[in-house]
Amino acid sequence: MRLPRIFRTTPFRLTLLFLALFASAASAFLAYIYIATAGEATRRTDQEIRREMRSLVDVYDRAGVDAVNQSLIERASSEKPFLYLLLTPDGRRISGSIEESPVEDFTGAPAWATFQVTDVDAEGRTVRHPARGLQQRLSGGETLFVGADAGDDEAYVARVVRALWASAALVVLLGLAGGVLVSRNVSRTMVGLIDVVERVRNGEQGVRAHVRGARDEFDELAQGVNDMLDRLERSMAGHKHAGDAIAHDLRSPLTRLRARLETAYLDVEAGKGDPEQALSQALEDTDGVLKTFGAVLSIARLQAAGTAPDPVLFDPADLAADISELYEPLCEEKDIEFQAELTKELGVRGNREFLAQALSNLLDNAIKYTPAGGAIMLRVRRRSSGEVEYSVTDTGPGVPDEDRERVIQRFVRLENSRSQPGAGLGLSLVAAVAEAHGGRLELSEGPGKVGEMGPGLRVAFILPRA
């Protein structure tokens, strides 16, 4: 038979475990209380018996056996009578409240005995009580026994034990009730979380766990599950968007590649084209598609992740110096003046590889559109807001103000750039890198128009403070 769910929950099992531990501890405590209480009652009875015995021995020493006999008769009728027995030296009973001594094999040394006494209660029933007594020989040879009924002490100990057992039983019952209540509340909360997980597993991405507002560990767990589901939903949406974007963005380059191959094939077939030149052009176009695919994939991954992977803390001036060493010779070949103003020891946190790619794209664009005799400036500085700024300024044709937001979109190429190679993805990748680092990209006019040059373009890559 399968137990109800509430009795199979971990909190209820823990409750049973704690109750078992409590019952074990309570049993040991009750045993200690019983032993201590019973021992104290026995010691108190023994002290009273010794005191009574000394009193009677003093009477005997002062006035003899007749005085002891008379004292026994008087004391037997007192409010709390002891049990007495006075025997002759040869063992015959002289007087007392019991008929014979409970001490067996008496040798003359003081001896203790525990025995039972018979009595009649208020309802006329015969009852037996435990008793305890001390027997010793008097100086004249007589034997005196003094005992006491221990029934009241035993009843007191029994009442204490019953009260403790009742308390323990009440605590166990309350513990079970509390365990059931706690298990029910925990089970209700956990069932809700399990239901959320099950629904998500069945494809419901928008379902979320209920946060009760109690600010306990279950609310923290529910909030954590919700955060995890939010990130999972964003990640899945990002991957779906990345796949759609890659499929969409590669359609045009692949279509152009196929058209060129088809044209080259028809020309060669008609004897109008050079097969080697057609194959070389096809390879060049294929490399362009692969480069486009790599750029689109990088942008999609960054947008899907939301943040740059593997960020590290580094000096942005060091990265800019490394990039400058690569691009300064290219500028010299094209007769372009290249300068770098790098403020050191600023510190940014980010993915060095992605940031290097972004700077490379900015410098590639600047070199591509800056004519011979122009100039390019690479700067690293801290803005008044505390942000760190990379900027690349050139003296090329620039970008009109109305096109500056559009130019960072994928595959957007302005009219003055149609003659230049490229797919229109450079600034898109830079913008994606900036966004993944919590930064932004700003485009503004360069140094202005000077003769044939200008007005130029200034692209600022802004990163938050580390």
The answer to whether residue 358 is domain-embedded is yes
The answer to whether residue 190 is domain-embedded is no
In the listed set 305, 337, 368, which residue is the last one of a domain according to the structure?
A: 305
The answer to whether residue 185 is domain-embedded is no
Same domain, 23 and 153: yes
Same domain, 455 and 322: yes
Burial of 383-399, coded b for 16+ CB within 10 Å and e otherwise, reads eeeebbbbbbbbbbbbb
Same domain, 449 and 411: yes
pLDDT classification of 220: cutoffs 50, 70, 90:
confident
SS3 sequence of the chain = CCCCHHHHCHHHHHHHHHHHHHHHHHHHHHHHHHHHHHHHHHHHHHHHHHHHHHHHHHHHHHHCHHHHHHHHHHHHCCCCCCEEEEECCCCCEEEECCCCCCCCCCCCCCEEEEEEEEEECCCCCEEEEEEEEEEEECCCCCEEEEEEECHHHHHHHHHHHHHHHHHHHHHHHHHHHHHHHHHHHHHHHHHHHHHHHHHHHCCCCCCCCCCCCCCCHHHHHHHHHHHHHHHHHHHHHHHHHHHHHHHHHHHHHHHHHHHHHHHHHHHHHCCCCCHHHHHHHHHHHHHHHHHHHHHHHHHHHHHHHCCCCCCEEECHHHHHHHHHHHHHHHHHHCCCEEEEEECCCCCEEECHHHHHHHHHHHHHHHHHHCCCCCEEEEEEEECCCCCEEEEEEECCCCCCHHHCCHHHCCCCCCHHHCCCCCCCCHHHHHHHHHHHCCCEEEEEECCCCECCECCCEEEEEEECCC
Same domain, 317 and 421: yes
What is the domain-level CATH number for residue 333? 3.30.565.10
Same domain, 151 and 221: no
pLDDT for residue 339 is more than 70? yes
Distances (CA, A) of 65 to 32, 136, 138, 343, 358: 44, 14, 9, 120, 123
pLDDT classification of 295: cutoffs 50, 70, 90:
low
Model pLDDT for residues 80-110, shown as the tens digit of each residue: 668 888 889 888 888 888 888 888 888 888 9
pLDDT for residue 346 is more than 70? yes
Lowest mean pLDDT among 175-189, 198-212, 371-385: 175-189
Q: Is 92 exposed, middle or buried (0-12, 13-18, 19+ CB in 10 A)?
A: exposed
Closest CA to 422 of 364, 363, 342: 364
pLDDT for residue 245 is more than 60? no
Tokens 């279950």 belong to 218
The answer to whether residue 264 is domain-embedded is yes
pLDDT classification of 378: cutoffs 50, 70, 90:
very high
pLDDT for residue 335 is more than 90? yes
The answer to whether residue 211 is domain-embedded is no
Lowest mean pLDDT among 47-61, 117-131, 270-284, 409-423: 409-423
Same domain, 415 and 281: no
The arithmetic mean of pLDDT across residues 176-202, rounded, is 74
Highest mean pLDDT (candidates 56-60, 78-82, 408-412): 56-60
**How far is 232 from 196, CA to CA, in rounded Å?**
14
pLDDT score for 308: 78
In the listed set 138, 157, 176, which residue is the last one of a domain according to the structure?
A: 157
For the chain, the domain total comes to: 3
What is the domain-level CATH number for residue 43? 3.30.450.20
pLDDT classification of 305: cutoffs 50, 70, 90:
low
In the listed set 131, 157, 183, which residue is the last one of a domain according to the structure?
A: 157
Same domain, 242 and 126: no
Same domain, 323 and 283: no
Interstrand relation of 337-342 and 375-382 (parallel, antiparallel or unpaired)? parallel
pLDDT score for 292: 62
pLDDT score for 399: 83
**How far is 149 from 170, CA to CA, in rounded Å?**
34
Lowest mean pLDDT among 58-72, 313-327, 406-420: 406-420
pLDDT cut 90: percent of the chain above it: 17
Domain range for residue 369?
312-463
pTM of the predicted model as reported, rounded to 2 decimal places: 0.44
pLDDT for residue 420 is more than 50? no
Same domain, 390 and 266: no
Same domain, 251 and 329: no
pLDDT classification of 74: cutoffs 50, 70, 90:
confident
- Please state whether the peptide bond connecting residue 455 to the residue before it is cis, i.e. omega within 30 degrees of 0: yes
Model pLDDT for residues 109-161, shown as the tens digit of each residue: 899 988 888 776 667 777 787 888 999 998 888 999 998 887 777 777 778 77
**How far is 288 from 144, CA to CA, in rounded Å?**
125
pLDDT score for 186: 67
**How far is 135 from 106, CA to CA, in rounded Å?**
8
> Radius of gyration of the chain from Cα atoms?
52
The answer to whether residue 173 is domain-embedded is no
440-445: strand order across its sheet? 337-342, 375-382, 388-394, 457-463, 440-445
Same domain, 268 and 321: no
Same domain, 300 and 324: no
pLDDT classification of 363: cutoffs 50, 70, 90:
very high
Sign of CA dihedral 158, 161, 163, 166: negative
Model pLDDT for residues 441-460, shown as the tens digit of each residue: 999 988 877 777 778 899 99
Closest CA to 396 of 322, 325, 457, 316: 457
